[in-house]
């Protein structure tokens, strides 16, 4: 039997042994599935109610513990950045009777730690030169707040040394932007962080030593709304862009596809500063064989196009081609706008793709990525044209191949949609998490969830993934939701969000690239992390309930 095997039942048996399975996702009506759970041990989605906080609910046999809280003091704070998840521009909790104005914050800005990167490292140093920081570390950029920065959670450290302010400036003393994505590039020996701030976004590369040297790589990767970033075995970097398009003049609740899937082919994979080729994915229409492209000033036409219908139809397979949009050898190292060039070179736009990963054990030939869609239940694009997003599978003969095939893996709906971060749980199962936003939470009366998909499953018949985490709402986010609804310049998001889902054994070598090994959560050093963003800004580790459960899983 596999060392990691899901069983035919989910829940606690009579002997108290955890029996978990993914054998067959259940088929439910999509509306019924919004708040229900039909697999034993599966939590239902958590309802949203005004003024009510609610705990998270995990799949039976799973528990979670915080590895860092928003209120955790940084070991090397600044006046602007004193805590892990809060800026220094206000209190953590509003004072009774205090009133938000455009010039006065009733509470501090939330920094929103985002994508996590776990590494097992020797000889890491921090702000205290005499302290042993251990060997287990979790890095993340911060998506919100008044300034961008990188933190390192020292998982083996005491409370005083638990979180290090890793970097807030680049090599030249410039402030870092707010960050969304992150990964470790073992070829170049650099942490890579991405910012989705379009004209000011891009990729930043950081050394591992403390204090690190951080470089803005805009002359290599360009500017763009970059979020997800992943390595492949050839040393290429795959980047997923999240840039919302224009709303339609008629279809006012839907947005034009406006973001791209990129691949960077380095000239020297051990030194990214030498540049390379930035490419964008082009998808050919099934109707006329021409590229599916962005049409400037035609948002309504693109939102309801037949090509969008085809892209979100099960069973269709599209020819793809990588188009070079910038080559440092011929175009130089002046920063460029990748989104603009992708449109000019006739690459194919998607409805806010955010993250993707390679399926383990496939030699980096299968790449799964999601699109978030419109995050509005009123979207005129509907389910059929990707209004609630989707998961796509891109298959190639090898990771550097210039052509491939694209197909729809899962078409999202209002109950299971607005997907964002992702991580492969094992070779055949992948977790995608929701970022529905406050509006859609209210519309569907449900907070975000994390879903486990079987990549061998055909979802065209109405089968649905298994919810392994039903996110609730902490008290801080509940307060924020009320202030957000009131307006008056309140700067923090209401409700919580699942982000930074990460399954890794922390291997920093090229053999540890996500997708190279078969993940085995809770076994042989494999760990599972995520961040409950907004509110209290807790980053958490998911664990099993006990050794009996682990024994059942790893026979």
Query: Residue 39's pLDDT band (boundaries 50, 70, 90)?
Result: confident
Q: How far is CA 84 from CA 129, 216, 271, in A?
A: 21, 23, 31
User: Which is nearest to 536 in space by CA: 490, 497, 489?
Assistant: 497
Alpha-carbon distance 192 to 268, whole Å?
Answer: 16
pLDDT tens digits, residue range 331-340?
A: 999 999 999 9
The rounded distance, in Å, linking the Cα atoms of 334 and 354 is 26
Residue 21's pLDDT band (boundaries 50, 70, 90)? very low
Indicate yes or no: pTM above 0.85: yes
Task: Band the pLDDT of 24: cuts 50, 70, 90.
Answer: very low
Compute the average pLDDT of residues 190-203.
96
Contacts of 354 (CB under 8 A, 6+ apart): 227, 228, 240, 242, 370, 371, 372, 419, 420, 421, 435
**7 confidence band (pLDDT: 50, 70, 90):** very low
Tell me which of 245 and 19 has the higher pLDDT: 245
Q: Is the pLDDT score of 552 beyond 70?
A: no
Tell me the DSSP string of 445-456.
T---EEEEEETT
* The pLDDT of residue 248 is above 90: yes
pLDDT tens figures, 390-415: 999 999 999 999 999 999 999 999 99
Beta bridge pairs of residue 169: 175
Percent of the chain with pLDDT over 70: 91
Beta bridge partners of 277: 265, 327
- Of 147, 173, 166, 175, give the one whose Cα is nearest residue 206: 166
Q: 25-34, 37-46, 55-64, 132-141: lowest mean pLDDT where?
A: 25-34
Angle at 86 between CA 69 and CA 191, to 5 degrees: 75
Q: Name the E strands within 314-401.
A: 317-327, 353-358, 366-371, 390-395
Rounded-to-integer distance, Cα 448 and Cα 45, Å: 8
CA distance linking residue 236 with residue 265, whole number of Å = 5
Which pLDDT tens digit goes with each residue over 258-317?
Answer: 999 999 999 999 999 999 999 999 999 999 999 999 999 999 999 999 999 999 999 999
């Amino acid at each position: 039997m596999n060392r990691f095997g899901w069983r035919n039942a989910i829940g606690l048996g009579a002997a108290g042994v955890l029996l978990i399975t993914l054998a067959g996702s259940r088929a439910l009506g999509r509306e019924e599935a919004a708040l229900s759970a039909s697999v034993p041990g599966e939590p239902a989605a958590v309802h949203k109610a005004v003024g009510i906080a609610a705990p998270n609910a995990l799949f039976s046999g799973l528990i979670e513990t915080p590895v860092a809280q928003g209120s955790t003091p940084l070991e090397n704070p600044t006046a602007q950045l004193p805590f892990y998840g809060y800026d220094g521009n206000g209190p953590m909790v509003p004072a009774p009777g205090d009133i938000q104005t455009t010039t006065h914050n009733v509470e501090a800005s939330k920094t929103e730690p985002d994508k996590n990167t776990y590494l097992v490292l020797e000889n890491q140093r921090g702000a205290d030169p005499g302290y042993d920081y251990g060997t287990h570390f979790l890095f993340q950029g911060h998506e919100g707040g008044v300034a961008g920065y990188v933190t390192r959670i020292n998982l083996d450290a005491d409370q005083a040394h638990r979180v290090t302010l890793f970097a807030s400036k680049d090599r030249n003393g410039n402030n870092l932007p707010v960050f969304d994505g992150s990964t470790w590039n073992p070829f170049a020996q650099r942490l890579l962080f991405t910012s989705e701030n379009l004209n000011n976004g891009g990729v930043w590369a950081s050394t591992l030593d403390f204090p690190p040297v951080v470089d803005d790589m805009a002359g290599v990767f360009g500017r763009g709304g970059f979020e997800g970033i992943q390595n492949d075995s050839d040393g290429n970097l795959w980047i997923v862009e999240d840039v919302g398009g224009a709303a339609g003049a008629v279809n006012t609740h839907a947005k034009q596809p406006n973001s791209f899937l990129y691949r960077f082919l380095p000239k020297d994979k051990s030194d990214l500063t030498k540049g390379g080729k930035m490419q964008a994915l082009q998808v050919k229409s099934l109707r006329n064989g021409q590229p599916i492209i962005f049409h400037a000033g035609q948002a309504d036409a693109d939102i309801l196009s037949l090509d969008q219908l085809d892209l979100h139809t099960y069973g269709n397979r599209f020819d793809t081609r990588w188009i070079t949009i910038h080559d440092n050898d011929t175009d130089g190292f002046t920063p460029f706008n990748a989104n603009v060039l992708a449109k000019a070179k006739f690459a194919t736009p998607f409805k806010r793709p955010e993250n993707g990963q390679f399926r383990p054990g496939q030699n980096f030939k299968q790449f799964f990525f999601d699109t978030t869609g419109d995050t509005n239940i009123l979207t005129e694009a509907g389910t059929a044209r990707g209004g609630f997003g989707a998961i796509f599978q891109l298959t190639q003969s090898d990771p550097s191949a210039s052509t491939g095939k694209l197909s729809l893996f899962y078409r999202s709906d209002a109950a299971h949609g607005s997907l964002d971060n992702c991580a492969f749980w094992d070779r055949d199962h992948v977790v995608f998490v929701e970022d529905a936003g406050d509006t859609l939470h209210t519309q569907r009366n449900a907070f975000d969830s994390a879903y486990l998909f079987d990549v061998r499953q055909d979802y065209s018949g109405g089968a649905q993934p298994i919810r392994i985490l039903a996110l609730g709402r902490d008290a801080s986010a509940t307060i924020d939701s009320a202030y957000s609804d009131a307006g008056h310049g309140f700067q923090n998001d209401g409700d919580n969000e699942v982000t930074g889902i990460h399954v890794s054994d922390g291997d920093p070598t090229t053999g540890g690239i996500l997708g190279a090994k078969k993940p085995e959560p809770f076994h042989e050093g494999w760990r599972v992390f995520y961040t409950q963003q907004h509110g209290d800004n807790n980053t958490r580790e998911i664990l099993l309930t006990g050794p009996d459960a682990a024994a059942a899983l790893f026979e």
